[in-house]
Amino acid sequence: MSMRSPSPFNRLMLALLLFFSVLALLITPALGSYAGDKPLNTIAHAEIRGAVSFTLGDSTYSGRLLQNDTYTVSFDTAAVPGSEVELARLYLYWVWSQRENVGVYPTLELSANREDLSPVVTYTDTKGFVGRYDYYSGVTVCDCTNSLARADRVAGSYTVTVTNTDPNGSTFSLQGIGLLVVANCPREDQDCQYIEYWINEGCDMIYADYGIMPEMATSRSYFNGELAVKEVEKAMLITVVPSGGYVSGGEKAHNTLYFNEESGWLKELPFLKQLLKLIFGFGGGVWHDVYIADTTLPSRSGSISAM
């Protein structure tokens, strides 16, 4: 990320990463592996006077959903900032999609406040080798901008329902539903902050096992653009990693999150890297064991503030 000339406005940079979980109108093969081989891509980048919010509502793990089973999540829309919805997207984080022990795409219907919604894209991945439980996992994305704009946000409830509609008997599980909202401030609010945001989406299952080394089990995402770093008042990175940190057998999870951190030759010269950081402000941030999965859903997502 390069720098640009100073701006008269303080900016907040928010990068939203939706890991783990293309079939949309076009179906692409769900080839994959436990290696980081499906980088997340930027689907939106803009500057507005407003705010960005992301919430999982009252999501819980669904368990296995059979045909005609439903899963419902409610969101408190009274807490959504801004007055005019610029962009709103729902993210359905699903796993274990299979029929007779063979991985398949889930067949589902989605409604919000009893209004039917259609997916705009589904990102998928699998462990990618022959064996038991090579089921599909992914995230299905729906644009709910108009639906949310029509909702009575003052009343405070936006209810989303997912139904398994496959007559052939396939099943899947939902780990939760996320609601992302980008909203503009009221026109008369001249004190509202200017923000610049990036939204990256995709699905990349990573697991350092079965011959996949940690260097291979690394997923990358890029936020292209110029930023007047000295004018930034606050920066936030939000990541969503369903089952992040899960290990079997009671072992301790080991994972690391890097942001703008050098991973090449400079990594082998920690003294020089620290010197450059002190003199020029060069470098980023590193967080260890960020994702630790347990029986509560919030542990499956992480929100990390970074400057």
Tell whether 158 is covered by a domain.
yes
* Number of structural domains the chain divides into: 1
Q: Report the CATH number that the domain containing residue 194 is assigned in CATH.
A: 2.60.120.1200
Inside any domain, residue 204: yes
pLDDT in tens, 51-109: 899 999 999 999 999 999 999 999 988 767 667 899 999 999 999 999 998 889 999 99
Domain hosting 66: range is 11-243
Q: Return d(Cα 43, Cα 213) in angstroms, integer.
A: 30
Residue 80 falls within a domain, yes or no?
yes
* Three-state DSSP string of the chain: CECCCCCCCCEEEEEEEECCCCECCCECCCCCCCCCCCCEEEEEEEEEEEEEEEECCCCCCCCEECCCCEEEEEECHHHCCCCEEEEEEEEEEEEEEEECCEECCCCEEEEECCEEECEEEEEEECCCCCCCCCCEEEEEEEECHHHHHHCCCCCCCEEEEEEECCCCCCEEEEEEEEEEEEEECCCCCCCCCEEEEEEEECCCCCCCCCCCCCCCCCCCECCCCECCHHHEEEEEEEEECCCCCCCCCCCCCCCEEEECCCCCHHHHCHHHHHHHHHHHCCCCEEEECCCCCCCCHHHHEEEEECC
The answer to whether residue 206 sits within a structural domain is yes
> Is position 303 within any domain?
no
Is the residue at 39 inside a domain?
Answer: yes
Q: For residue range 25-42, what is the model confidence (pLDDT) as tens digits?
A: 223 334 557 888 888 999
Predicted local confidence at residue 113, as pLDDT: 92
Lowest mean pLDDT, pick from 12-21, 53-62, 239-248, 276-285: 12-21
In a domain, 255, yes or no: no
Residue 95 lies in a domain: yes
pLDDT one-digit tens code per residue, 268-283:
666 666 666 666 555 6
